[in-house]
Structure 1
Amino acid sequence: MTVQDSPTRIETFAAAWEAWHRRKDSALAHEHGFLAVTGLHWLAPDPQRFPDAPGTWSTGHDGVTVVLDEGEELVVDGTAVRGRHRFGVIPERGGVNAVWGDAVIEIAKRGGLDLIRPRHPEHPLRTEFTGTPAYAPDPRWVVTGTYTPFPQPRPITVGAAVEGLQHVYDAPGRIRFRIDDGQALGLTAFNGHAPGSLMVLFTDATSGVTTYAASRALQVEAPGPDGTVVLDFNRATNLPCAYTDFATCPLPPAENRLPVAIEAGEKLPHERKPIA
């Protein structure tokens, strides 16, 4: 699609983008979504209590354990648990949700460390959310690229929104593209959510100006037989760390810092803008 397309096609393109963006923001603002997170609590061998979760929490070689006080209860996989409960060893980037009244306690592992993140529907960050600002959708930012797989997936270590934390992802290949027939650009890709799909993390010349400084993410459908991929930068999204300090989002690989301004996709959230 190009800017020379008919007004009808451009209107259809914009309507599809609007519907997609509403769905994305709706998921973000779900009653137990990331905007409902009230704390990021790292677990240790010594038992700890937290103000926004029941019980006393600890971790060790056998994984995460909670000891609930008299009258306290969590619901795990549909079963009510009381007293001592062992969640066991949580896999990296995995997690378990335990229901506590109208809240959910997420038990997870990030960067090799166990944590809990309580999610309370009444958290002001969620209840006062008015949506994510974004550039107006523009077909100019739908770019065709070429995906080249690596001979073997490459483990790549990247930083995180939490200082000192690191993530390791397998990168299956790299995408090369141009914008408006300009300079050659490239992005190292990670695996996406759907089988065969890809995901890229990147910054560009708008980062820290009109868009979130640390990173944006773009989902890419599976490459065609000839390696062709479509990069729709209109659908570049913020990660949860753009809204809350209680996220452990990965940062882009160094080679994914684009030297051009990608004036498309989501902008800096209202929640991160300075208060006058």
Structure 2
Amino acid sequence: MTSAQITDRAQFGREWEEWHRAHEARRADPHGFLAVTGLHWLTSESTSFDGIPGLWSTGPDGPVVDLDEGESLDVAGAPATVEYGFGPIAERDGVTVGFDGGVIEVAKRGGHDILRPRRADHPFLASYAGTPTYVPNPRWRVAARFEAFDVARPTSVGSAVDGLTHVYEAPGELVFTLAGEEFRLVAFPGRGPGDLLVLFTDATSGITTYAANRSLGVPAPDADGWTVLDFNRAVNLPCAYTDFATCPLPPAENRLPIGIEAGEKTPLSRVQADDLVGAPA
């Protein structure tokens, strides 16, 4: 369905409100990204980190935590009270373990094993009052044609953290028309089977929308290669809210020269870290 096919603008607005309310609820979950209190980079040297139990290190066999007497973690519902090895973690994957006061995300980003503690009592989470948005408008919902590459292309992009690189297997490009002009966006794999993800900036970036990036989920193309880009559902990545994020930046091809006046705007506040100790050089 393109914008021209939408006749009930009130219904369109209600559906968008319902979607955005659910998106905000996930964002403000007690252990969601607004609850992250730090970003720690693991090395071969056993290291302690403020506020979380254990000495942490990593190597070819993945992250390891050495817990002292009286320290424990909840790992998949079972207590860990001594040394615990997580095994190798795949890129963009991770596990979450519990501790007294919160949870810890143990993950791999840009080839580095990291820890991100999350606490439900984090002041930033408590003070979060929502993200401003543009008023939803069907004109920003456009048909797009997916043009698959012959072979998925490894695509390296920068990160919100200096020195970190993300690599995605791009399956193809999305081609669409706005105001009579054709544009293309490199697409990455999305969450569901066949779904796509677009990272982009546009002429509003750094003015009314977050400067570094926005993200848009795209439904799987149909049998003829057609899908829909609903820019009303363009959202901020975690790096718009906190320095404790490793979000990817858009590929150079996805810097649109026009203003996409739709979706989420720049957040009203964000967490800034004085120093990301041990970040990749």
TM bracket (short chain) = over 0.9
Deviates more, 1:52-61 or 1:110-119: 52-61
Q: Which residue of 1 aligns with 2:35?
A: 36
Query: 1:49-90, CA deviations, whole angstroms, 9 ceiling, x for partnerless residues?
Result: 111211111111221111112111101011101021111211
| Mapping 1:38-187, distance limit 5 Å | 38-181=37-180, 183-187=181-185
1:136 Cα offset (Å): 0.4
Q: Which residue of 1 aligns with 2:276?
A: none
Deviates more, 1:119-128 or 1:259-268: 119-128
Query: 1:148-205, CA deviations, whole angstroms, 9 ceiling, x for partnerless residues?
Result: 1001110100001100000000000101111132x21110001110101111000000
Q: Which residue of 2 aligns with 1:194?
A: 192
Report if the CA contact (8 A) 1:107-1:116 is conserved.
yes
**1:4, 1:226 → 2: CA distance?**
19
Normalized against structure 1, the TM-score is what? 0.95
1:208 Cα offset (Å): 0.5
**2:60, 2:171 → 1: CA distance?**
32
Q: Does 1:232 align with 2:227?
A: no
Amino acid corresponding to residue 184 of structure 1 in structure 2: E
| Mapping 1:180-259, distance limit 5 Å | 180-181=179-180, 183-259=181-257
**1:35, 1:57 → 2: CA distance?**
24
Deviates more, 1:261-270 or 1:61-70: 61-70
Q: Describe the SS at the equivalent of 1:270.
A: coil
**1:164, 1:263 → 2: CA distance?**
31
Q: Describe the SS at the equivalent of 2:178.
A: coil
Unaligned segments of structure 1, at least 5 residues: none
**1:100, 1:158 → 2: CA distance?**
34
**1:89, 1:146 → 2: CA distance?**
38
**2:28, 2:270 → 1: CA distance?**
16
Report if the CA contact (8 A) 2:6-2:12 is conserved.
no
**1:137, 1:12 → 2: CA distance?**
11
What is the number of equivalent residue pairs in this alignment?
270
Q: Which residue of 2 aligns with 1:14?
A: 13
Report if the CA contact (8 A) 1:99-1:105 is conserved.
yes
1:4 Cα offset (Å): 9.4
Report if the CA contact (8 A) 1:91-1:109 is conserved.
yes
Alpha carbon RMSD of aligned pairs, Å? 1.4
Structure 1: 4+ residue segments shifted above 4 A? 1-6
Unaligned segments of structure 2, at least 5 residues: 272-281
Residue identity (%) = 55
**2:195, 2:5 → 1: CA distance?**
29
Report if the CA contact (8 A) 1:38-1:52 is conserved.
no
